[in-house]
Chain A
Amino acid sequence: MDRREALKITSIFLGGTIIGSGYFISGCALDEASGEFLSEAEIHFLNEVGETILPETKRSPGAKAANVGAFMHTFVRDCYSPEEQEIFKAGIEKLNHRAKAAYSANFIDVQPEQKFKLLVKIDQEAEKANLHYFTMFKQLSILGYFTSRPGATQALRYNPVPGEFIGCIPYQEGDKAFAGRV
C-alpha cells in the first residue's frame, strides 16, 4: 500500500507534480539575514488569493481560515528553488498590476466577485503557460488548505484512528471525502 503512494505522486491525474518538489538548477541560497521572505502584508495578500480560490461556504471554512498565506510563505521559502521563488514573488506584483488595470485598485481592495472574475481569467492563462505564478498560488492554496486543520477536519472527514477498514460502504453525492490522501 505504501509503495502505491509513489505511483500516485507521479500520476498525471493529480494535476501534475507540485512545484518545488524537484531540485533542478542550483542557484544562490536565500539570504536568511535579509529577514522574513514575505511581509505580513504579502501573507495577507496570499490569504485573499487563497480565499478566492477556496472561499468560505456553508459547508466549510475558506482558505483564509486555514491561513494558507502563511503556509505558502513557509513552503516557498523552504521548498522552492531561487528561480521559482522569484516567479512567485513577482507574481504578487503582477497580480496587483492586473487588478489595477481592471479595477483601478490593489487586488485585496477589489470586491470579492471582481477578485473571482480576475482570477478565473488568470487561471485560464496559467493553464497554458509554463511555471506561471498563479499555478503556484493555486497549488499551494489547495495543498495548504486540505492539509490544514480546518481543511482536513471540516472540508474533508478526518479520522486519525479509523479503528478498522471496511471495504465497501455506500456513498452519496455530496458526502465528504476522507482526509489523509492529499
Chain B
Amino acid sequence: MFDEDKKFDAIVIGSGISGGWAAKELCEKGLKVLVLERGRDVKHLKDYPTALKNPWDFKYGGRMSREYLLKNPLITKTYAVNQSTTHFFIEDEDHPYIQKKPFDWIRGYQVGGRSLTWGRACQRWSNYEFEAPAKHGYGIKWPIDYKDIAPWYSHVENFIGVCGNKDGVEAMPDGEFLPPFDFNCVEKHLSDKISEHYPDRYMVQGRWAQLTEPKKIHLDQGRGKCLARNLCMRGCPYGGYFSSVSSTLPWAAETGNLTIRPHSVVHSILYDNETGKASGVKVIDSNSGEETIFNARIIFVNASALNTNLILLNSRSQRFPNGLGNDNGLLGKHICFHIYRANASAAIDGFEDKYYYGRNPTDTILANFRNLGKKDKDFFGGYTTFCGAYRASTTGVPDGEPQLGANFKHALSEPGEWRVYMYMQGETIPKITNQVYLSPDKKDKWGIPLLVTDVAYDENDEKMIEDFLQESREMLQKAGCKDIVTADNKQSPGLDIHEMGGARMGKDPKTSLLNQWNQLHLCKNVFVTDGACMTSTGNQSPSILYMALTARAAGYAAEEFKKGNL
C-alpha cells in the first residue's frame, strides 16, 4: 500500500529509460525516492503476457483486427505495435493532442515506459556531434563535450550490458562492450565491399543492449543471456535486453529507498517563491481523479521529451507565468527528432549455400561519414545507417509453373533469396519554429491543457534524405547487389520515436533552459534528463545518452543534496 505520509528526498517524474536511471542512482546514494508513473504498474516477468506465445497463439497471424486499426490510426503506424505488443502502447483516444502539423507521437504509458519496447541501439556520440552545431552555426554550443560524458557512458554500458565490437571508428567511439552478435555471411561481404570501395566508411556489428555474455553485475540484477529470440518488445522472460522494468527499477527497489506510484498523472511542478526552488509536484490519480501534492528537495523530470515540455509549460506560477524556468520564452522550442524516412533494399546473388541460426536482435551499423569535423556537403549534420541481410521468405516457384500445390508449398518452406537493407537515422536541426506549446482552451480528462505539436521537416532534411538515397544505392551497387530499390516513405516527424529538445542544455540562460548538470538555470533543484534536454540530436540513437546524462546529473544532485545546496 502506498503511504501518503511518507517523506521523500527526491521525486522522479516518469519510470522510462531515464527515469529508471535517476531512481537507481539516487536510491543508491541513499536518497528516499518517489517515482511517479502515469500508467499502470508493470513487473518484470509477471506482466509480460505475450512473452512465451507462439505464432499460432495470435489469431490473426500477428496482424491487427480492423476494429483496433480503426480505433488506433495513430499508434498502429509504428513498426513496434502488433498483436504481441499492444499492451505496452497507449490507445489513441485515451491521450489526445493537437497536431498543428502532422506529428506522430508514439507513447507507452506504464511502469518502464518505452524502455520496454525501445530499439536498443546503443552507439556513443562522438565529439564531432557535440561540436558540430556551434562550429557549423546550426545550433548553440553544448555545455559538455565527449570527455565529460565518456565515463558516464562506461558507467551505463557496464550496468545495462551492451554488446559490440571495439572498431576504433572515430565517428562512433568504442565503449565497454560484451561480445558482439556475428555478422552473417552477406553482412560480412557487405562490410568488406564497403571498406574496399570507401576507405572512410565502416560497417560494423551493432552495439545493442543485449546480454550476449552476462557478467556478475547482470546476473545480480536477475538477468540472463540473450537467447536470440528477437521478441524483445514483448518483455524478455530472460532479461536478455535492458529495460527499466528488468534492471534499474528492481535494482533501486533493492536499496529500500524506492517508492513507485503508478496511475499518477503529473499536473505540474510547484514553485516556492520564498526559497526560489520547486517545492513539490501536483499529481492527479488517474483512477480516482484525486489531487495530491508530493514534496521533495530534488525533482527529476523524465516524463519523455514532449511530456516533460508539457509539465514544465504547465508549471505556472507568479514568478514563472510562462512555465517553470522559462524567462527566455524558449521552453517548448527547438523540438527536433531523427529522420527515418528513407531506406534501401536489394537482392544479392550467391551465398545460397549459407544460412544462419537463431534470430539476431541487432542491426549492423554503418557509422556516419558526413560532415565529420568539417562541413563537406550542402546540408548540416550526419546520418547513421542501420543495415543488414537476411534470407527472405520464398514467395513462389519459377514463373510458368503452377503457383500452388506440393512444389509451391515446398518452395515456401525453404529460405528464399538473400536480401539486403539499409535505413537512415539522420540528424535534424534544432529550430525555434519547431515547437510544442499548450492549447489555450482544450484540456484532457484531468484538466491538463493538451499539447500542440508544430513540428515539420525542412530543406536540410530533404537534402540529407537525397544524399542517403544516392549513397545507399551506390554502396549496394558496389557491393554487387541487384534489384536495388530506394524509397522515401515520407512519414511524419515523430514516428521515429526520437523526439528531443524543448528544454535544451546550454551555458547561457538567455539561450537555453538547462545548465551543464541538467538543472534548470532558474530553478536549480529541478533536473531534466530525458530527451527534452537535448541541445542537438546527433545522429546516434539517443537513449543511452539520456541514461548517461541522467546518471551524471543524479550523481551531482546527490552530492549537492548532501552538501545542503539543494
A interface list, Cβ under 8 A from B: 1-15, 18, 20-21, 23, 26, 52-55, 57, 59-60, 62, 71, 74-75, 78-81, 116, 119-120, 123, 138, 142-144, 146-149, 152, 155-156, 158-182
Q: Which chain B positions have C-beta within 8 A of A149?
A: 54, 56
- Identify B409's interface contact among A54, A148, A169, CB under 8 A: A54
- Cβ of B412: which chain A residues have Cβ within 8 Å of it? 54, 142, 146, 155
* In contact, A175 and B414 (Cβ under 8 angstroms): yes
Query: Is residue B233 within 8 Å, beta carbon to beta carbon, of the partner chain?
Result: yes
0/1 interface trace, chain B 401-430, chain A, CB 8 Å (1 if under): 011111011101111100101010000000
Contact in complex: A79, B66 (CB < 8 Å): yes
Q: Which residue of B lies closest to A174 (CB)?
A: B414
B530 within 8 A of A: no
- Give the residues in chain A near B228, CB-CB below 8 Å: 162-165
Query: Closest CB-CB distance, B340 to chain A, in whole Å?
Result: 8
Among A13, A52, A173, the one with the most B-chain Cβ atoms within 10 Å of its Cβ is: A13
CA distance A171 to B186 in the complex (A): 14
Chain B residue with Cβ nearest A120 = B402
Residues of A near B413 (CB, < 8 A) are 59-60, 155-156, 176-177
Interface centre among A3, A75, A178, A181, by most chain B C-beta atoms within 10 angstroms, is: A3
Identity of the chain B residue whose Cβ is nearest the Cβ of A176 in the assembled complex: B413
Asked if B63 and A166 make an inter-chain contact with CB atoms under 8 angstroms apart, the answer reads no
Q: CA A103 – CA B67 in complex, angstroms?
A: 40
Q: A116 contacts B405, CB within 8 Å? A: yes
CA distance A62 to B393 in the complex (A): 19
Known contacts A149-B56, A155-B409, A165 near B73 by CB under 8 Å: no
Interface residues of B in 349-380 (CB under 8 A from A): 352-363
A174–B413 Cα gap in the complex (Å)? 9
Report B-chain residues with C-beta under 8 Å of the C-beta of A177: 391, 393-394, 413-416
Contact B185 A168 (CB under 8 A): yes
Contact A147 B66 (CB under 8 A): no
Q: Which B-chain residue is minimally distant from A143 (CB atoms)? A: B61
Distance of A125 Cα from B233 Cα, bound (Å) = 41
Are B185 and A1 touching (Cβ within 8 A)?
A: no
B62, B63, B185, B340 pick with most chain A CB within 10 angstroms: B63
Instruction: Knowing A7-B421, A53-B405 are in contact, say whether A180-B55 is a contact too (CB < 8 A).
Output: yes
List 21 A-B residue pairs with CB atoms under 8 Å apart, sorted by A's residue number: A2-B361, A7-B421, A13-B395, A23-B69, A52-B405, A57-B409, A71-B61, A78-B60, A80-B66, A144-B61, A147-B62, A163-B358, A165-B356, A165-B358, A168-B354, A168-B355, A171-B353, A177-B416, A178-B357, A180-B55, A182-B62
- Report yes or no: B55 in contact with A179, Cβ–Cβ below 8 A: yes
Q: Whose C-beta in chain B lies nearest to the C-beta of A52?
A: B404
Q: A3-B79, A7-B343, A168-B356 are in contact. List 20 more A-B contacts (CB 8 A).
A: A1-B363, A3-B119, A3-B340, A23-B66, A53-B409, A75-B59, A120-B404, A146-B412, A147-B55, A149-B54, A160-B54, A165-B356, A165-B360, A167-B183, A169-B354, A169-B357, A171-B355, A174-B414, A175-B415, A177-B416
**Chain A to chain B: the 7 pairs with minimum beta-carbon distance, closest first:** A167-B182, A6-B79, A162-B358, A165-B358, A171-B355, A165-B228, A177-B415
Does residue B58 face the partner (Cβ distance < 8 Å to A)? Answer: yes
Does B214 lie at the interface of the complex (its beta carbon under 8 Å from any beta carbon of A)? Answer: no
CA of A9 to CA of B343, assembled, Å: 13
Minimum CB–CB distance from A16 to chain B (whole Å) comes to 9
Instruction: Kindly list chain B residues whose C-beta atoms are within 8 Å of the C-beta of A147.
Output: 55-56, 58, 61-62
- The distance in angstroms between the C-alpha atoms of A141 and B363, with both chains bound, is 31
Minimum CB–CB distance from B188 to chain A (whole Å) comes to 8
Residues of A with C-beta under 8 A to B408: 53-54
Give Cα A78 to B345, complex, Å: 32
**What interface size band does chain B fall in?**
35 or more
| A-facing residues in B440-457 (Cβ within 8 Å) | none
CB closest residue in chain B, given A75: B60
Question: Does B1 touch A at the CB level, under 8 Å?
Answer: no
B227 touches A161 (CB 8 A): yes
Which residue, A53, A55, A75, A168, has most C-beta atoms of chain B within 10 A? Answer: A168
Interface string of B35-54 (1 = CB under 8 A from A): 00000000000000000101
Question: Separation in Å of the A42 CB from the closest CB of chain B?
Answer: 18
Q: Which residues of A contact B487 (CB under 8 A)?
A: 10
Contacts of B410 in A (CB 8 A): 57, 59
**Are A10's CB and B489's CB within 8 A?**
yes
Q: Is B392 an interface residue (CB 8 A)?
A: yes
- Complex: how many Å from CA A180 to CA B53? 12
In the complex, what's the smallest C-beta–C-beta distance from A15 to chain B, in angstroms?
A: 4
B158 touches A (CB below 8 Å): no
| Separation of A20 and B507 alpha carbons in the complex (Å) | 53
Q: Mark contacts of B179-191 with chain A using CB atoms, 8 A cut-off: 1 yes-contact digit, 0 otherwise.
A: 0011111011000
Question: Complex Cα distance A4/B80, Å?
Answer: 10
Query: Is the CB–CB distance between B395 and A14 below 8 Å?
Result: yes
B232 in contact (CB, < 8 A): yes
Residues B354 and A12 in contact, CB atoms below 8 Å apart: no
Q: Which of these, B362, B392, B395, contacts A1 with CB under 8 Å?
A: B362
A95 CA to B233 CA, complexed, in Å: 42
B65 at the interface (CB under 8 A from A): yes
Docked pose: A88 CA to B73 CA in angstroms:
24
CA distance A57 to B64 in the complex (A): 31
Contact across chains for B391 and A4 when beta carbons are under 8 A apart: no
A165 to B419, CA, bound (A): 18
CB of A138 within 8 A of CB of B354, answer: no
Distance of A167 Cα from B205 Cα, bound (Å): 11
